[in-house]
Structure 1
Amino acid sequence: MKKLIIFILGLLILSLGCSPIYYSPNAQNVPLISAKGEKNISVNAGSSNANNLFNSVSVLDLQGSYGITNRLAIQLNAGFFNVSKNERGGGGNGKLFETAIGYYVPVNEHFLFETYALFGFGNFNNIVSGPASNTINENISGSLMRYGIQPDFGYKSKDISVAVSTRLLKLNYFDISGNLTYEGENQVDYLTQNSSYLLFEPALTLRAGWQAFKIQLQLGNSYNLTNVSFRQGKTFFIAGFHLNF
């Protein structure tokens, strides 16, 4: 009986761990700009859980921002995603490049409000192997476009910064190709016919250190308002460093 339970659990883990992932949230760029000419650079690494306990996506984020006037700022962001290959050869990767323009206003000496209009594009690739896939190493890949708004409100001092932010995003897929059938459904047809999603992504950002250099932590979640069962990264956590000069 014990061997049977272990065997069933093993099959379950293999099945869940090899499911495709079509989207994972990147870190939110929350610079808390307070003056013209202010520059920020962040480098972060982290992960998001996708679909189940056994499936996660690692991410590396590069972010920059600049105050171009006393009220306007711009951003440039890049995210690189990876799902490590398993023993059967399944895995995946993706990229997202994003630009943003926004409005910022200091509320008082320490509190600030910002809001940004975001536009990004990228791609994804999945190689799936396991019991849920009809054959070993079936694949699916495609391109995506993501746009929306990101308001944030935060506290900023020389030593610490704390901010709450959220993204409201439209996510669109195109140029889908591959041969993946998962759980009896052709995934290329599925993603082609269901190519548009609305996302809500709140986050909390904490920074501590010195005025020019701080350690940064961020915790957030991606809610798919169109399809709660969509195969994507959800809760995300990142850690890194933030430069202000």
Structure 2
Amino acid sequence: MKKLNIGLLILGLITVFSSCNPPSYIPTMVNAPMFKNGGEFQASVATGTSNFDAQLGLAITDHIAIIANGSFADQKNDSTGDFHKHTVFEGGIGYYQPISKKFMMEVFLGYGNGNIQTVEDSYSADANYYQIFLQPSFGITNDFFTGSFTPRFNIVQIDYLYDEARYDKLTTFFQPTFTAKFGYRYVKALVQFGFNVSFDETIIFEYDKKFFNLGLTFTLGRKYDQVKQKEFVQ
């Protein structure tokens, strides 16, 4: 019963965070590793409004890191013929800096491209897009919890089908995102939600205005502070 309730809760959240009509642009899960040291590696898997996301991150040095993201979906309703497919790949390089033992900051610059195809009722979406993103992150991290805020900026060049005609559009999305990871050191549950904001009033294609993801994060190579043992003199 508990598993059923959790599943219904996740489904309800995904429904609330999704757009009413099939979107031509879907924001992917933000990759905010909050690295502490060189040699640290992170991998994450999650499900949510972007269906399935996989992420990798590696701190090459004590200040330079790389990230890679993938988002995938292949859903079909055999009774109605409706379907949704998308494939998105992203990669980036960035700089990170521990401000103190717990407080961190990082910034990544990256590039991505994606394809989305959807048919639902009388509406269809068919789009290809390329994007450049800039994502600074600020947060805290310890053995049990990592929390961060990421105001991501995406410059998107999208080629999309609308009313049986194709259009090209260059636009910018602002995606303030909150990420929380709960667990202990090497494995943590991941919860992320954010907003996808456009200030361009000329956009005529559909896009998700909110996003939400649940998943797991695995960490290797992080240097943890050793607990000092008190010496007792008899």
TM-score, with structure 1 as normaliser: 0.75
For residue 116 of structure 1, report the CA deviation from its aligned partner: 0.2
Separation in 2, partners of 1:173, 1:216? 30
Identity %: 25
Q: Which residue number in structure 1 is paired with residue 187 of structure 2? A: 213
Find 1:72's aligned residue among 61, 64, 79. Answer: 64
Pair 200,212 (structure 1): closer, same or farther in 2 beyond 3 Å: same
Pair 35,18 (structure 1): closer, same or farther in 2 beyond 3 Å: closer
For residue 140 of structure 1, report the CA deviation from its aligned partner: 4.7
Count, aligned residues: 201
Q: Which residue number in structure 2 is paired with residue 231 of structure 1? A: 206
Pair 204,97 (structure 1): closer, same or farther in 2 beyond 3 Å: same
Separation in 2, partners of 1:166, 1:64? 20
For residue 127 of structure 1, report the CA deviation from its aligned partner: 2.0
For residue 173 of structure 1, report the CA deviation from its aligned partner: 1.8
Find 1:104's aligned residue among 96, 103, 114. Answer: 96
Separation in 1, partners of 2:192, 2:67? 18
Q: Which residue number in structure 2 is paired with residue 4 of structure 1? A: none
Contact 1:112 1:154 in 2 (8 A): yes
TM-score, with structure 2 as normaliser: 0.79
TM-superposition CA deviations, 1:35-74 (whole Å, max 9, x none):
1100000001111xxxxxxxxxx51110000011111100
Contact 1:67 1:73 in 2 (8 A): yes
- CA-atom RMSD, angstroms? 2.1
Q: Which residue number in structure 2 is paired with residue 63 of structure 1? A: 55
Pair 124,90 (structure 1): closer, same or farther in 2 beyond 3 Å: same
For residue 21 of structure 1, report the CA deviation from its aligned partner: 1.5
Separation in 2, partners of 1:219, 1:103? 23
Which amino acid is the alignment partner of residue 33 of structure 2? P
Residue ranges of structure 2 left out of the alignment (5+ in a row): 1-18, 221-234
Other structure's SS at 1:233 match: coil
For residue 197 of structure 1, report the CA deviation from its aligned partner: 1.4
Residue ranges of structure 1 left out of the alignment (5+ in a row): 1-16, 48-57, 134-138
Pair 141,230 (structure 1): closer, same or farther in 2 beyond 3 Å: closer
